[in-house]
Structure 1
Amino acid sequence: MKQLKALILAAAALVAAQTFANTDAQNDKIRERIKPVGEVCVGAECGGAVVAASGPRSGEEVYNTACAACHGAGILGAPKNGDKAAWDDRLSKGMDQTLANAINGINAMPPKGNCATCSDDEILGAINYMSGR
């Protein structure tokens, strides 16, 4: 009985050794199959262009790049650019509150209208531009 157990263990060890003992060629084929398809790299260290800010953007620039999609058409109740009555209603709470709403988001508007790179002053400039102030 002991001999049979020893024989079974030896056979199992031999099978395991054969299973896990890949040749270099087999290992190379495996590495080729599981290698990454590509890489993502952003910035100067990857050879990409670095865009240097030339200073704060105007309210019109911020509006055109970040605000026009919703405020141009009045999507989901966004006050339209140049709609004095709609903006007067928003600004009746004061510019500080209107700016805080724009920075933090309100109703369907996400924080900073999804302009994560906009400074608070640039957001203020966009409000002033859209409200005609």
Structure 2
Amino acid sequence: MVFYAALDQIYHGKHPLKKSTTEILKETQEKVYGLPYVPNTAWQLRFSHLVGYGAKYYSYLMSRAVASMVWKQCFAQDPFDRAMGERYRREMLAHGGGKEPILMVQGMLQKSPSVEDFVDALVSDLDQDFETFIMDS
């Protein structure tokens, strides 16, 4: 997911030295992604998320960070903790779409998360995913 976000930022930012999208894809994939670029492919031309999807793509990263923070702070030690379950119902679920999401997150975490908190949550999850991938390989 981070790879696609990085690629999107490069494609829609200031273009470096008149490179093709395939050249940019190859360079970015070699820097950011765990799998090598396959020569003579241009899958980015058929990947519709890179065009017309806008900032919605990044909401996945934000959702993952929030879910990670809530899990680690509230449920990791005891997923069946009744008090945390009640707080989750009260702070997150009870509002439907009637409350600003950041206010629900603040209520659940009992603090206002910083940008660093979101980044730390994503990095931690990526590290954990990588460790799981290595162990399963």
Higher relative contact order (CA 8 A, sep 6+): 1
Question: What is the TM-score when the length of structure 2 is the normalising length?
Answer: 0.27
- Say which structure is richer in helix: 2
Greater C-alpha Rg: 1
Question: What is the TM-score when the length of structure 1 is the normalising length?
Answer: 0.27
